[in-house]
Structures are given as C-alpha cells and as structure tokens.
Amino acid sequence: MFPLVFGKVNTNFKGGIIMGHNLAQKILSSHLVSGDLAGGNEIALRIDQTLTQDATGTMAYLQFEAMNLSRVQTECSVSYIDHNTLQTGFENADDHAFLQSTAARFGAYFSRPGNGICHQVHLERFAKPGKTLLGSDSHTPTAGGMGMLAMGAGGLDVAVAMGGGAFYLPSPKVLRVWLTGKLSEWVSAKDIILEVLRLLSVKGGVGKIIEYAGPGVKTLTVPERSTITNMGAELGASASIFPSDEQTLRFLEAQGRGEDYIPLSADEDATYDEELKIDLSLLVPLIAQPHSPDNVVPVSNHSATAVQQVAIGSCTNSSYQDLMRVREILKGKQVHPNVSLVISPGSRQVLSMLSSNGALTDLLDSGARLLESTCGPCIGMGQSPVSKGVSVRTFNRNFLGRSGTQDASVFLASPEVAAASALTGFITDPRTLGLSSEVEFPERFRLDDSMIIPPGDPDTIIRRGPNIQPLPIAPALDNSLDLPVILKLGNNITTDDIMPAGSKILPLRSNIPAISEYTFHKIDPQFAEKAKAHKQSMIIAGHNYGQGSSREHAALAPMYLGLRIVLAQSFARIHRANLINFGILPLTFVDENDLDRLNAGMILHLSGLHQAVKTSEPFAITLDNDSKPVWVKHDLTERQAKILLAGGLLNSTKAAV
Ligand code: F3S
C-alpha cells in the first residue's frame, strides 16, 4: 500500500573527486561565515531575512533594542501579529503597539493583526529563492517551498541575526526525498508529508535538511510544497527545501514578484547522506491519529469515527488552493448538524480572493463559521473541542491537550479530508463522495499590501504600555560562587514544568518580572520567592533537563530570579543552548551517581570558574561537611564559553558591535 524505497547515499567526496553539490549545500556554502560543512561541527551562516511573530517578537525586539543597534541589518525583517490576537485584557494590545513602533523605529516591516499568519504572508510577499530566513517560530521552514533555506530559532538568535550577526548550528546532514509520479485526485500535499512522517517518525529529521527532488516535484505548486516544508518541523528537521523552477516562477509572477525569481536546483551528480523515494501516484488520503503527527494511517481506517469539530486553517493548510478545494466539496451542501466547522484563511489575500470570486458565500452557505486570518485554534485561541470530542484539523500538531480540551482526540488531515468529514459527520475519504474537481491556479493573486506597514522613521517613539517591561540582563559569570541548591528535580523536566503556558501566563511574555513569578510553579509554588531571597542560586536535576519546546522564557525567567548554574545528569539540546544564551552555566556530573549526594538546601562552592569554563577539563565543586568533592564537566565550544563569561549572548554580542 505504501510506496517506499529507503537507501543510503555517500557524501560528496568519492575517490578524491569532488562531486556535485545538492541544493542545501549550495545555499549553505553561499552563506557560510565560518566552519566546515563537511565536518558535522558548528557552522555560522549569514542571514538574509528574519521574521518574528507576536508571541516571541516582543522579547526579540527588546533584545534587539538592548544591543544598542539603530536599524536592522538584514535585507528584510518582518514583524507579524498572528498569535495572540484575542484582546480580553490590555496585555496583547500593549504588545501589538510595542511591536508596531519597534518595527518602524528599527527598520522592519510590520504585518498588522488580521493580515494573516506569518508563514503564509511571508511566502506570498517576501520569500525569495536562494536566500536564508531565520524566524522566531518553529514553522519558519514553510518558506522552503520557495527554494529558501528557512529555519526556526529562539528570539535571541533572531535578534542577533537582525543585528547582522551570524546564526550558529551544527552542520546538517542532507536527506533527499525523491518524488516520482503524480498525485491522484483528492490526494494532496498533506498526504505526502504525512507519508514522510509515517516513514521517518517525529525524530527522523533531527540534525538534517530535507531536500525534495525528482520528476514529481514539478507537479506541485509552491503552496503545496510549503505544506510539505511546513511539517518538516514535525520531523525535527532543521529545514526542508524544494528547488526553484517553473512552478516557483509561476507563483512569483502571480504575486507580482517575477523579478525575485532565480532558478535553483541540485547538480546532476549531487550526493546525499540519506535518501527516501516516494511514488506520488501510489499515495492515498492519510490521517495522523491522536496524539502524534507521525501516528499515520489511511483515512479509510477511520470511516466509522464520528466527528464533532472540523477546523480548517493554520500555517500548514490555508492557502487559496486549499480553501478552493474545500469549497468544491462544500458547495451546495450542508455541514452535518453534529459538526462545528470553522475556517481560518491563511491570509487576508486568501480571504479577499475567496470573497471576490464568490467562494466565501458558498462556504458560509454550507454552514461553515469564518474565523480571523490568524493562528486562532492552532495556538489555542478559542475553538477547543467538546469534552471527549473528535476534532479533524488541517494543522500540524495534535499533542495531547494542545487544543485546550485534555480528553479530546485530534486528528490531522488534508483540507479535502476535513471538508468531506464535515459533510458526513464521520472521518471520510473524499474519494468516496464521487465528486470531481479541478481548482485553477490563479494567474494573478489579489495584491493589496495596505496592511503591511513599511519600515518607518528611526525617530519613532517606542510605545510601552504597562505590559512592556525592560529586559533583564544577566551579570557576567563570577570566578567564585557559593551557591545554595534551591531545588532538586528528577528526570525529564520539561520547559513547561519550568515556565508553564496557558491563557493567564502567555500574555505576560513581555513582562519578565511578572512572568518569572510562575517559574516552577507546578513543582514548587514558592520557588520564585526562595530564589529572590538568595539573590544567586543553582538547581540540580536528573536526565534530559529542559525537554520540550524551544521556549526561551524557561531560561530567561530563572536567570532573572538569580539562577546561575543548572547541574544535571543530562540536558535537552535546545534548552541547554538557551541556558547558555541567557548566561546560565549548564554542568553535568562526571559520576552521575553524585546526584544522590546532593540535596536542596546545601551550599556548593565553586572557584576558578573562568579558567574552568575555558578548558574542557572536569573540575571540582566542594561541599560543606564533606571532604569528597563532586566532579563536574561541561561541553562548551569556545564560542559558548565566551558567551557565558560575558553573561549571555546579548552581552557578548553588545561587546562585539
Ligand atoms: Fe500559528 Fe499554528 Fe502555525 S500557532 S504559526 S498556525 S503552527
């Protein structure tokens, strides 16, 4: 049933002859600032474009401001408002006003609330083949559908890139997905990426760029390619990329940006680290079952599953083509009475085109409810499913509880499957409806950039409502420290354990003093109080400390409360990088059994720290009332050691400019 050939291909050095380059290598090498692409070590890249959204953007712009730079140094930086658009209190409105004024002052474009989801709008109006894009949102790789090398990162990394600094990452492997054939009717781009997730799992892309190639590529439009690159994030990939070809030119010309086109593809004799082959003509409509995007089966397996909610939208599947296919299914029919169908168009461009060609009327007549062109239900802003309900969504994530309903079952599928399910009230393979459809790719999209405000006057006054508080800066690392252990933790502490989310806490993202009160709140409600009483402190933990999201507040808030060191048996990779960025020293045990000798309430003595950070040798921490020290180590690169000694990335970047 599933088309698959899996193989390994050698890298591009054979018998001393340099072989051709793949597309990822071409963009990486043309943007390489330092490092060696072949080595697997850390490389530094020049960044051409950045994007931020409001949930991460306030912090990124506070960080940019703290670097004392006057204007962004990239070719183009865009500040989007698409996540927290509900205004039940003043906090989100304060954030929006701050972001509009900082964009004007520092030379970024500002996309107003209602203009669309950052990744959809960026694809339409800003993305360019061959360029690099760094975004403070994990689905930034969406723009890879345009032949861009687009990556997600923490807000501070994006702020540094806006200031002209390089972006550091481990040199990635490149996995080629070779596409042949053509999709059958009612099978879509979402089914391609669900198939890749089924084959590779949510860990399959870690440390890799996924490059799509082969004759099947030319059958896919740019928005379809971007559905695929968008969910490369669910594979854990650093980026996903398609070539730039006639489809790219067609999309750019339809967006009135034909001059941005350049052709780009891998060399004929390019080599790859790994390869996967998919015959598009053999694919069937697929669905990801609760609670993981890689838990994929054919839609037909669920034909007896009743549905209470269908949500169509998100940065994965809300393009004009997506919603026109939905219209083809719903036109002249009625949504099942037991189903709530909500539709969020990906951008104002999409919405206005549906409006002007009459498709919107067909959607509304069918009983669909129209939501704003924002992230909406995907970020939990409304539309939580009924208790124990089944929700079919065109989104990219279905982790337990993300919808806002802990016991709901969320399935991920294409817009075609979602629309068919909304009609029948059961999870439905659209091919069973007996419809036929041919959605035309528009020759010209409706162009209206009036909700994108261009870079403004450098003298613009920054608007700071009470929700915008100054950014705390870490002190430089002291050479000697006597630190109380204020918390001892077990294994697998998540960033959510460290800094919880939720509708009460999320609006405080630009107010570190206020949000830091919630640090470790679920584990120790007195944590913030204790930390403040000690001024400087440390915590100890078991394995995999900081797993979960890239949430930088999980490092920033503890730093604000005076945390200087986390001593753990092991760390999750992204959180460890965030700790370093915010000046907190991550240490591990030489003998991990030593964790048993330590407890909350002890004072640990560290000396000669400056030298210890610069070398890779283990060093001793002494304890009161115990003559045997605890030996600890770190695996800092030279660059990371400098960051820590300066008190974090912000301080070290300021020192460099
Ligand atoms: Fe927004 Fe959901 Fe995408 S929160 S950026 S639509 S993953």
Residue 117 near ligand 1, beta carbon < 6 Å:
yes
pLDDT class for 236, splitting at 50, 70, 90?
confident
462-517 per-position pLDDT tens digit: 999 999 999 898 889 999 999 999 999 999 888 888 988 766 787 888 999 999 99
CA of 293 to the centre of ligand 1 (A): 15
The residue among 433, 448, 467 that closes a domain is: 433
Please identify, by atom number, the ligand 1 atom nearest to the C-alpha of residue 118: 5
Residue nearest to atom 4 of ligand 1 (CA): 379
pLDDT above 70 covers a percentage of the chain that reads: 96
CATH number at residue 310: 3.30.499.10
State in Å: Cα 123 to ligand 1 middle. 14
Task: Quickly state the pLDDT bin for 7 (edges 50, 70, 90).
Answer: very low
Q: For ligand 1, say whether the CB of 314 is within 6 Å of any of its atoms.
A: yes
ipTM above 0.90, yes or no: yes
| Least confident piece of the model among 192-206, 282-296, 543-557 | 543-557
Mutation test residue for ligand 1: of 142, 375, 397, the one with most atoms within 8 Å of CB: 375
DSSP state for residue 88 in the 8-state scheme: S
Bridge partners of 241? 211
User: Is any ligand 1 atom within 6 A of the Cβ of residue 55?
Assistant: no
Q: Is 45 helix (H, G, I), strand (E, B) or coil?
A: strand
Domain carrying residue 128: 5-282
Rounded to 10 degrees, the C-alpha dihedral 476/478/481/485 comes to 10
Ligand 1 pocket, mutate which of 54, 342, 378, 402 (most atoms under 8 A from CB): 378
423 and 496 co-located in one domain:
no
In a domain, 451, yes or no: no
Domain shared by 417 and 498, yes or no: no
Predicted confidence at residue 364, as pLDDT, reads 98
Residue 3 has a pLDDT of: 38
Q: 241 CB under 6 A from ligand 1?
A: no
Q: Is 402 in the pocket of ligand 1 (CB under 6 A)?
A: no
Residues 6+ apart with CB under 8 A from 555: 575, 578, 579, 581, 582, 584
Do 389 and 517 lie in a common domain? no
- Token digits of residue 50: 């950045």
- Interval between CA 279 and ligand 1 midpoint (Å): 29
Domain for residue 375, yes or no?
Answer: yes
396 lines ligand 1 (CB under 6 A): yes
Asked whether residue 464 is domain-assigned, the answer is no
Does some domain include residue 467?
no
Residues in the chain: 657
Atom of ligand 1 nearest to the CA of 396: 7
What is the average pLDDT score of the chain?
93
> Is 122's C-beta closer than 6 angstroms to any atom of ligand 1?
no
Q: Are residues 260 and 292 in the same domain?
A: no
What are the C-alpha distances in Å from 443 to residues 71, 127, 249, 292? 37, 19, 11, 37
Residues 527 and 558 in one domain: yes
Mark out the alpha helices in 154-258 (DSSP H runs): 155-162, 189-200, 222-230, 246-254
CA distance linking residue 612 with residue 111, whole number of Å: 46
Query: Among 53, 117, 121, which is best to mutate for testing ligand 1, by the most ligand atoms less than 8 A from CB?
Result: 117
Domain co-membership, 275 together with 359: no
Determine the straight-line distance between the first and last CA of the chain, rounded to whole angstroms. Answer: 57
Q: Which two tokens stand for residue 362?
A: 């067909």
Same domain, 170 and 290: no
Same domain, 222 and 290: no
441 within some domain: no
User: What does the pLDDT read at residue 101?
Assistant: 98
Nearest CA to ligand 1 atom 5: 315
> Could you tell which of 52, 56, 86, 137 is best to mutate to test the pocket of ligand 1, judged by most ligand atoms within 8 Å of the CB?
137
Q: Of 190, 314, 393, which is best to mutate to test ligand 1, by the most ligand atoms within 8 angstroms of its C-beta? A: 314
Q: Output the CA 378–ligand 1 centroid distance in Å.
A: 6
Q: By alpha-carbon position, which residue is closest to atom 1 of ligand 1? A: 375
Cα–Cα dist 57/65, whole Å = 12
Over 70: is that where the pLDDT of 98 sits? Answer: yes
Counting the structural domains of the chain, the total is 3
Q: What is the CATH number of the domain that holds 614?
A: 3.20.19.10
Better-scored residue on pLDDT, 548 or 431: 431
pLDDT in tens, 329-378: 999 999 999 999 999 999 999 999 999 999 999 999 999 999 999 999 99
Asked whether residue 162 falls in the same domain as residue 262, the answer is: yes
The answer as to whether 461 is a domain residue is no
Q: Tell me, in angstroms, the distance from the centre of ligand 1 to residue 128's CA.
A: 21
- Atom of ligand 1 at shortest range from CA of 53: 5
- The reply to whether ligand 1 has any atom less than 6 angstroms from the CB of 237 is no
Domain boundary among 433, 450, 469: 433
Q: Are residues 384 and 263 both part of a single domain? A: no
| Domain end marker among 236, 260, 282 | 282
Q: Are residues 210 and 298 in the same domain?
A: no
Say yes or no: CB of residue 378 within 6 Å of ligand 1.
yes
Q: Is residue 48 part of a domain?
A: yes
Residue 454 lies in a domain: no
The minimum-distance atom of ligand 1 relative to the CA of 397 is 7
Asked if residue 534 and residue 627 are part of one domain, the reply reads yes
